[in-house]
Amino acid sequence: MNAAAQAPLAPATVARDLSAADLRRALSAGWSDFLAHPVYGLFFASIYVAAGLFLMLALFRWGEAVWLIPAAAGFPLIAPFTAVGLYEVSRRREAGLALSWSGVLGALGGRGDQQVVMMGGIVFVAFGFWLMVAHGIFAVFVVESGAGSESLAFLATPSGMAMLGVGSVAGGLMALAFYAITVVSLPMLVDREVDFLTAIIVSLAAFRSNRGVLLLWAGVIAVVLALAMVPMFLGLLVALPVLGHATWHLYRRIVDPA
């Protein structure tokens, strides 16, 4: 990377003309990256899948299967941080640099300034906050119904369906806000020497300038991840790497590399 490419960027450098065609090109490039270096994608995705399977088995074992819904809904909040290593794979492939485990895993620490680590802290705080909100919503509807809630059967009751509706709205708003601050900021922290607040500002500027297309991209991510989690989370082994690589290419389209 040259000095100009590493300099902090102002929001004015954000593209304002994204289209659905850019999303298709990003997905195609993401698929190409995954096929070129599948071992990295499978490695990072397997950690995510293993965590999901562990959580699912633990909730069933503890008789708290109903908590699988909010936990699964909150999983996409963690996905961007999981994809940091994938951004580095795409960055190196694009720049013609050699790929190595030390280089790719080193991206998790950022450029030696711990900015990615700080963003990771925000990611996990957001996930914890979502679980607290979900617990509050769950408690309100369980108390109101006076029914048992130890199994997924509770979700078929009127109170359970109302809880799902309210939880979906609350979770969707939280996920959208979080998406707006991470869609550009995390790949940017991998790519350039900027602080995480600057990266968040650029990400918000990108979202404001291309709201329609980036909302469509958020919908694509949500649908693909939801479908990929259905077969015991196993679909994430492919979906997560492809989406991660694609997000890198979308970032490169949004933020002028010069």
β partners of residue 255: 14
Number of domains in the chain: 1
- The pLDDT tens digits of the residues spanning 150-193 come to 555 666 777 778 877 887 788 788 888 888 998 999 999 988 88
Q: How many distinct helices (H) and strands (E) make up the chain?
A: 12, 0
Is residue 41 within 8 A of residue 240, CB to CB? The reply is yes
Q: What's the pLDDT score for residue 1? A: 43
Apex 155 CA angle, 64 and 217, nearest 5? 95
In a domain, 258, yes or no: no
In a domain, 88, yes or no: yes
Quick one: CA dihedral 27, 210, 9, 112, positive or negative?
A: negative
Burial environment of residue 95 by CB neighbours within 10 A (0 to 12, 13 to 18, 19 or more): exposed
Is residue 33 within 8 A of residue 89, CB to CB? The reply is yes
More confident residue, 41 or 114: 41
In a domain, 127, yes or no: yes
**Global pTM value:** 0.81
In a domain, 82, yes or no: yes
In this prediction, residue 11 has a pLDDT band, given cuts at 50, 70 and 90, of: very low
Domain coverage including residue 108? 16-253
In a domain, 3, yes or no: no
In a domain, 234, yes or no: yes
Distance of CA 152 to the CA centre of its chain: 26
In a domain, 1, yes or no: no
In a domain, 56, yes or no: yes
Q: What's the pLDDT score for residue 222? A: 86
- The pLDDT tens digits of the residues spanning 100-111 come to 999 898 887 766
